[in-house]
Amino acid sequence: MVYCGKASKGCQHCRTRRIKCDRLRPECSQCVRAGKQCPGYRDQLSLMFRDENTKVMQKAHAQWGVPGSSDGPSMSSPSSGSPLSAGSPLAFVNADGTPLPATPVSRRSSVAQQALLIASKLPQTVPPTFFEKGIQFYVDHYILGYPQEAKTAADLRDAPWMSTPDVAEVMAAVGLSGLSNLTRDNEIDLAARQKYGLVLRNMAKSITNPARLDPRVAVKMVVLLAMFEVVQGTSETAGSVRAHIMGAAALLRSVVPKMTEPTGAFRGILQLQFSMLIPCYTSGITVPGAALEWIMSSKQSLPPEDMTSAELLLTVARYLQLSVTLRNSPLIHSRSETRRLKPEALALEAQLAAWEEQQTQPSSPWRYSTHMGDFPPEAAFRNRYHIYVNGMWSARDDGEKKGIDFREQHLETIRRMAEDTLVSLPTHFRHPRLTREQRDLLDRTCILPPGSAGGVGSAGVPTLTIQLKVACYGPGVPREYGEWALNILETCWSETGMLQAHTLANMLRAHLEKRPKVKIELVEVKKEDAHW
């Protein structure tokens, strides 16, 4: 018979999990991310038609384990005298046990009554709670598939922070926030905000009793709280991240003295510190002093390969301070002010040049090379990717330096830096079109030291989205770069529900729409000048 309802076109795994299936070939990204074999998709005829004859019903009853399922034909036989006999387990009876008088019914209505009775005997599935929905969305879209993270949900069972109640609550808050952005469900959004408020209250209590804090769990909490603001927020301003950096500084002042050996647990906070640089520059504000104080006090807790990250952060922070002075000082044209600022600017330029030269040395763990691969065109820019000697974190920090001082470079250098930013994307953001083998290949290009993965998952994505926008805004950058980056931002939005990616995608789209108009205006003015 014709099936008039709206059947799901997704694979069986996605229908069972009640999540949206993107129906990619040969496997959907949800199955790839969960480490399952995708069973494929139903064709159009299977969606439009289904068979409900007696034989099919018998097979269904046998699969369900319903008693008397083999008696289906006898119940609808003309010789039985009634559709359901009094002795049948599906017969209708009065309160005293006497059978109700049989009424003539059609075979189709008999089958419908039988199906209703069988359905009432089947166990009802319990719908997932908001907490379970949030955890599932966070694990699927913010952990699985990201560099140096678990490949399947089963791999997360051994993670110590998975059993921490506060971490689980803030994971659910981030997941619910992203889910509500995609579904526009106000009830889910309210649940996300409630869990976020609960975690904030618990964190405030933890600061008053630092002896009970686990340093790694505390860092994980700070990163997740900042991630919630990025997912929930609608702009790229530094205010939301800055608020958490200030809170992190207060929290980590109690944690740092307990860290007696170098550890990579602070990489997530260091990543968020770098994510503030571009918003601070565009907003004309300096990096918060509390954040710099935290860097100075925690340098001894950083591994040697991360020391250069802290040095670069402090150097760029001084550059931002100089930039704010140049923008706001009314005495900039006076000789005394010029004499004071010029040596400072030259010293910063020398420090940045020395830092960059140091990272290109053969002994530097920050070196990278560009290689060709066989990837989907939307997942890797021109099928190229970077191989980093010592992990993704250094490469991300190097990209921050590229984005900060691009105004001081030649147009060709701007184009090259923008291209490097796009080529480096597969190392930091795994496109859902990538197959499992391609993900494994990229994982081998950014191997971190043993035990230093940190489990921060998607903490680098907010920085990445800002870098894509800044790189494509640069003068002399081809339009092709912007269109490719726009597709990445839209994919990030549809995968994670991160409103920052959605906002930046709209800004980049508007920028690309204006570019042809500006070019036409320049050509017209040039012709008028030539005629004059």
**What is d(CA 412, CA 389) in angstroms, rounded to the nearest whole number?**
26
Please tell me the total count of domains within the chain. 2
Domain membership of residue 1 (yes or no) is yes
> How many Cβ atoms are within 10 Å of 57's Cβ, its own excluded?
19
Residue in 418, 425, 414, 524 with CA at minimum distance from that of residue 469: 418
Phi, psi dihedrals of residue 49, rounded to the nearest 5°: -125, 150
Q: Which of 40, 68, 96 is the last residue of a domain?
A: 68
With 0.85 as the threshold, say if the pTM is over it: no
pLDDT at position 273, please? 72
Residue in 428, 423, 491, 433 with CA at minimum distance from that of residue 463: 428
Say which residue the tokens 């040039």 belong to. Answer: 526
Confidence of residue 231 (pLDDT cuts 50, 70, 90): confident
Q: Per-residue pLDDT tens for 358-386?
A: 877 777 767 777 788 888 888 888 888 77
pLDDT at position 180, please? 92
Domain membership of residue 415 (yes or no) is yes
Q: Mean per-residue pLDDT for 481-492?
A: 90
Confidence of residue 70 (pLDDT cuts 50, 70, 90): very low
pLDDT at position 189, please? 92
**What is d(CA 204, CA 209) in angstroms, rounded to the nearest whole number?**
9
Cα end-to-end distance, the chain, whole Å: 78
For residue 23, what are the domain limits? 1-68
Give the domain CATH number at 26: 4.10.240
Burial (Cβ within 10 Å: 0-12, 13-18, ≥19) of residue 445: buried
Q: What is the 3-state secondary structure (H, E, C) of 481-501?
A: HHHHHHHHHHHHHHHHCCHHH
- Identify residue 215 by its one-letter amino acid code: P
Residue in 480, 488, 392 with CA at minimum distance from that of residue 443: 392
Q: Mean per-residue pLDDT for 455-471?
A: 73
Domain membership of residue 409 (yes or no) is yes
Domain membership of residue 473 (yes or no) is yes
Residue in 461, 453, 444 with CA at minimum distance from that of residue 501: 461
Q: Which of 68, 85, 117 is the last residue of a domain?
A: 68
- The alpha carbon of residue 382 and the mean position of all alpha carbons in its chain are separated, in whole angstroms, by 23
Q: At residue 49, does pLDDT exceed 60?
A: no
Q: Which residues pair with 372 in a beta bridge?
A: 384
Q: Mean per-residue pLDDT for 426-439?
A: 82
Inter-axis angle of helices 54-64 and 107-121, nearest 10: 10
Domain membership of residue 277 (yes or no) is no
Q: Which of 47, 68, 89 is the last residue of a domain?
A: 68
Residue in 405, 380, 408, 377 with CA at minimum distance from that of residue 470: 405
Domain membership of residue 346 (yes or no) is no
Domain membership of residue 437 (yes or no) is yes
Q: At residue 190, does pLDDT exceed 80?
A: yes
Q: Report the chain's mean pLDDT, rounded to a whole number.
A: 70
More confident residue, 317 or 530: 317
**What is d(CA 123, CA 121) in angstroms, rounded to the nearest whole number?**
7
Q: Mean per-residue pLDDT for 497-501?
A: 86
Q: Cβ contacts of residue 246 below 8 Å, gap of 6+?
A: 288, 290, 291
> How many Cβ atoms are within 10 Å of 4's Cβ, its own excluded?
7
**Strand pairing category for 384-388 and 368-372:** antiparallel
The two structure tokens encoding residue 355:
């830092």
Q: Per-residue pLDDT tens for 165-182?
A: 888 898 999 999 999 999
Q: Per-residue pLDDT tens for 375-424?
A: 888 888 888 877 766 544 334 444 444 444 444 555 777 788 888 888 88
Domain membership of residue 9 (yes or no) is yes
Q: Is residue 252 within 8 Å of 223, Cβ to Cβ?
A: no
- Identify residue 127 by its one-letter amino acid code: P
Residue in 394, 428, 404, 389 with CA at minimum distance from that of residue 311: 394
> How many Cβ atoms are within 10 Å of 109's Cβ, its own excluded?
12
Among 287-296, 300-309, 443-452, 494-503, where is mean pLDDT lowest? Answer: 443-452
